Every structure is written in structure tokens, then in C-alpha cells.
């Protein structure tokens, strides 16, 4: 009797598995037929990473210290990178410039050259502003770029901008298919690792087993899109530190910013910016504000001047209206530039 019962359960389990497999195959074929993918079976993850690698190769060049920097001479209808690797901000003005370093919010993703906050700041102050922002940078790369450019460009002031997500990026050695430098914590000191930074890895060598198999499924791709999980599924990231370590690293990096200010004699302003979801999702916004406040407190304790743009954005009357999709639009960048100009005065 026990043997018969076991056989029956095994048979039922097998039927369930076969039925589920038939349903999934039917859904896969049905979705493909409905969306024109029945005759084409690419690996969607590999295709996305290949496209991203191609775009990055045209827009950036490898850098042993930073991972990548804007390609000198790169240009589109809205974006122009000079021979110095900096984004255009308008007419080159005489005198010592202001240097702006940061991530995509400084670089000005989703807006034209004249609509970035460094370009607005240049018009407001009447002083040349050098836009050294780089999309995708972590707080670690932002600080390293400031250390590299300040001695070479000898600005009159430095504006270091960040969003809270830049702290999380400091926990990884690879983000969006691009290898990067990162810091380890040794007691109370930081140790730079992954330098020289390796060149980009061939996308075909970065797929996990799941991506090599499920990557061919249009059904799985469809589900991940609906769940808004494509960034994690397509993204080629390597985490080297547990969550929360980036906050500690960023706090220690303010020591390096203070040392840079002291060694160069150039005043430095640390500016906190925010992504649109801070204003769209209250719980997420509160978390991001806490992270931001802690980093600004670290900077103040080290004698750095700081600026938190949250209140200026929140009091605008329509915070979400200051953004394009993921980044600030022209109006939002003008507001941030005005706040920075006031702090620099």
C-alpha cells in the first residue's frame, strides 16, 4: 500500500510538472506570436548588454583610475564634449573657473548642454563653470575625479554634487557593465582597490546560468518588464560590499575632500541632490533623506561647506514637475543652480 501511494503521488507530481510546462510553452509561443517574435529567438539579456556596451564605447573612453570618462569630441544634437573631456557649458569666460563634479545629475542627462545646472550656474555667476560630471559614477569615483582634476585645472571653487544612490554605487566593483574602482575599509582608513581598473568585459562572458537560459524567454522578459525589474535582470553589476557599507565609505571619503581643499587652497561645496522618486514615494524619500543627512553631517564635521537642495525643490510647488523622466529638466537644473550660486556667494 505505501508503495502504491508513493507511485501515485509521483505520477500526480509528474502530471502537474508536465501541465505547467505545456502552459508556459503555450504562453511563450502566444506572446511571441502576438508581438512579432515568433521567428526570432535572441537572448534578450545579451542583446541589451551588447547595445549598452556599444553606446558606452562611443560615449566614453577607458580610464585606469576612474573606470571611464567622457570621450573627447563626442557630440550629438544636444551633447558636446570638448577636447578636455568636459561637457560644454557655453561661451568660455576668462578667469579662474568653477569646477563641477558629480554623477548624471551634474552631467545633465536628459537635457541639452545649456540646460544643465553647471551651464545655468555659469550664466548666474558670470564665471566659467567646467562640467566634469559623469553619468553612472558612484561617490567614490566622484571624489577620485575631483582629486584628479583640481590640481590640473586649478579652479577657484569646486562643487561636488551627489544623490543618495551614489553611496550604494560605492559598494560595487562593476556597474552597468563598466568596471570601476572601489574602496575597502581597513580600520578607520580607506584602501583603494581594483586599480588599474580592468577594461570592459565582453558581454558574452558576463551572463549567469539563469541569464544564459531564461534570457531567451520572451515570457520571462515580459514578466520582468511588468514588474519593473529589468535593470536588475539586464544589469551587469558586481557587488563587493554588503548593503550599508557605501554610507561608511562615503563618510570616510569626506576626509579626502577636506584634504583636497586644504592642499589646493580651493574652497569646496558638497551639494546633495535628489531623484524624482524621493518626491513620488514618501517611504523611499525618507530613507534617501536620512542617508543624505548623515553624509552631509560627516562633511560638516570635517569643516566642509554643504548644501542640501531638498527644501528648495520641495518648496517649488511642483517638485515632480522639475524632472524629465529620471533626471532634472531645464527648470529643475535652473533651480539647483540658483541654490548653488547662493551658497557660493
243/252 Cα distance (integer angstroms): 16
285/217 Cα distance (integer angstroms): 35
pLDDT of residue 4: 62
pLDDT digits (tens, 9 = 90+) for 36-81: 999 999 999 999 999 999 989 999 999 999 999 999 999 999 999 9
Residue 3 has pLDDT above 60, yes or no: no
pLDDT digits (tens, 9 = 90+) for 125-135: 999 999 999 99
The reply to whether 131 and 5 lie within a common domain is no
pLDDT of residue 173: 98
Peptide bond preceding 196 in cis form (omega within 30 of 0): yes
The reply to whether 35 and 48 lie within a common domain is no
What CATH number is attached to the domain comprising 205? 3.40.50.1110
CB 137 within 8 A of CB 160: no
The reply to whether 29 and 94 lie within a common domain is no
Number of domains in the chain: 2
Average pLDDT over residues 319-344: 98
57/189 Cα distance (integer angstroms): 34
223/132 Cα distance (integer angstroms): 38
**Crossing angle of helices 218-226 and 2-35, rounded to 10°:** 80
Share of the chain above pLDDT 90, in %: 91
In sequence order, what E strands does the chain have? 60-63, 67-70, 98-101, 129-131, 157-162, 172-175, 178-179, 182-186, 189-193, 238-239, 268-272, 305-308
In angstroms, the Cα distances linking 319 to 214, 309, 312, 326 are 39, 11, 9, 13
Report the alpha-carbon angle 194-108-171, nearest 5.
Answer: 25
The pLDDT confidence band at residue 13, using thresholds 50, 70 and 90, is confident
The reply to whether 28 and 74 lie within a common domain is no
**Coil, strand or helix: which one is 205?**
helix
278/276 Cα distance (integer angstroms): 5
The reply to whether 11 and 72 lie within a common domain is no
74 burial level (CB within 10 Å; 0-12, 13-18, 19+) = middle
The reply to whether 335 and 281 lie within a common domain is yes
pLDDT digits (tens, 9 = 90+) for 250-276: 999 999 999 999 999 999 999 999 999
The per-residue pLDDT of the chain, averaged, comes to: 95
CB 103 within 8 A of CB 163: yes
Please list, in sequence order, all residues whose beta carbon lies within 8 angstroms of the beta carbon of residue 256, skipping any fewer than 6 positions away: 143, 147, 190
The reply to whether 150 and 242 lie within a common domain is yes
Cell 541589451: give the residue: 48
Residue 1 has pLDDT above 50, yes or no: no
Average pLDDT over residues 216-240: 92
The number of beta carbons lying within 10 Å of the beta carbon of residue 345 is: 6
In angstroms, the Cα distances linking 287 to 23, 64, 167, 278, 336 are 41, 34, 13, 9, 21
**Coil, strand or helix: which one is 245?**
helix
118/106 Cα distance (integer angstroms): 7
The reply to whether 241 and 284 lie within a common domain is yes
Share of the chain above pLDDT 70, in %: 99
Q: Strands 129-131, 98-101: parallel, antiparallel or unpaired by DSSP?
A: parallel
The reply to whether 190 and 64 lie within a common domain is yes
150/207 Cα distance (integer angstroms): 39
The number of beta carbons lying within 10 Å of the beta carbon of residue 166 is: 25
Q: Domain of residue 6: give its range.
A: 1-39
pLDDT digits (tens, 9 = 90+) for 80-127: 999 999 999 999 888 899 999 999 999 999 999 999 999 999 999 999
Residue 239 CA to its chain's centroid (Å): 14
The reply to whether 171 and 315 lie within a common domain is yes
pLDDT of residue 2: 53
The reply to whether 31 and 76 lie within a common domain is no
The reply to whether 161 and 307 lie within a common domain is yes
Residues belonging to the chain: 345
Amino acid at each position: 500500500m505505501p508503495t502504491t501511494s508513493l507511485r501515485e503521488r509521483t505520477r500526480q507530481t509528474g502530471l502537474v510538472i508536465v501541465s505547467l510546462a505545456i502552459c508556459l510553452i503555450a504562453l511563450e509561443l502566444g506572446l511571441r506570436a502576438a508581438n512579432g517574435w515568433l521567428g526570432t529567438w535572441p537572448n534578450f539579456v545579451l542583446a541589451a548588454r551588447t547595445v549598452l556596451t556599444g553606446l558606452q564605447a562611443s560615449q566614453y573612453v577607458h580610464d585606469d583610475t576612474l573606470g571611464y570618462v567622457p570621450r573627447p569630441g563626442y557630440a550629438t544634437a544636444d551633447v558636446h564634449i570638448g577636447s578636455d573631456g568636459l561637457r560644454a557649458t557655453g561661451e568660455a569666460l576668462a578667469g579662474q573657473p568653477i569646477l563641477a563634479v558629480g554623477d548624471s545629475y551634474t552631467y545633465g542627462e536628459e537635457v541639452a548642454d545649456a540646460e544643465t545646472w553647471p551651464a545655468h550656474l555659469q550664466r548666474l555667476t558670470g564665471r566659467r563653470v567646467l562640467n566634469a560630471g559623469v553619468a553612472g559614477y558612484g561617490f567614490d569615483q566622484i571624489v577620485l575625479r575631483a582629486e584628479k582634476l583640481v590640481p590640473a585645472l586649478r579652479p577657484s571653487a569646486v562643487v561636488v554634487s551627489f544623490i543618495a544612490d551614489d553611496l550604494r554605487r560605492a559598494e560595487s566593483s562593476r556597474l552597468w557593465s563598466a568596471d570601476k574602482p572601489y574602496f575597502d575599509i581597513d580600520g578607520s582608513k580607506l584602501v583603494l582597490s581594483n586599480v588599474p581598473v580592468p577594461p570592459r568585459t565582453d558581454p558574452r562572458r558576463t551572463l549567469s546560468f539563469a541569464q544564459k537560459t531564461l534570457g531567451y524567454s520572451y515570457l520571462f522578459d515580459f514578466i520582468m518588464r511588468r514588474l519593473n525589474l529589468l535593470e536588475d535582470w539586464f544589469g551587469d553589476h558586481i557587488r563587493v560590499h554588503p548593503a550599508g557599507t557605501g554610507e561608511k565609505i562615503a563618510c570616510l571619503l569626506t576626509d579626502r575632500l577636506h584634504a583636497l581643499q586644504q592642499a589646493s587652497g580651493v574652497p569646496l561645496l558638497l551639494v546633495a541632490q535628489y531623484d524624482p522618486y524621493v518626491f513620488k514615494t514618501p517611504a523611499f524619500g525618507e530613507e534617501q533623506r536620512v542617508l543624505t543627512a548623515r553624509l552631509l553631517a560627516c562633511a560638516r564635521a570635517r569643516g566642509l561647506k554643504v548644501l542640501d537642495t531638498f527644501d528648495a525643490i520641495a518648496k517649488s510647488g511642483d517638485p515632480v514637475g522639475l524632472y524629465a523622466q529620471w533626471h532634472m529638466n531645464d527648470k529643475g537644473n535652473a533651480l539647483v543652480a540658483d541654490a548653488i550660486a547662493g551658497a557660493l556667494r
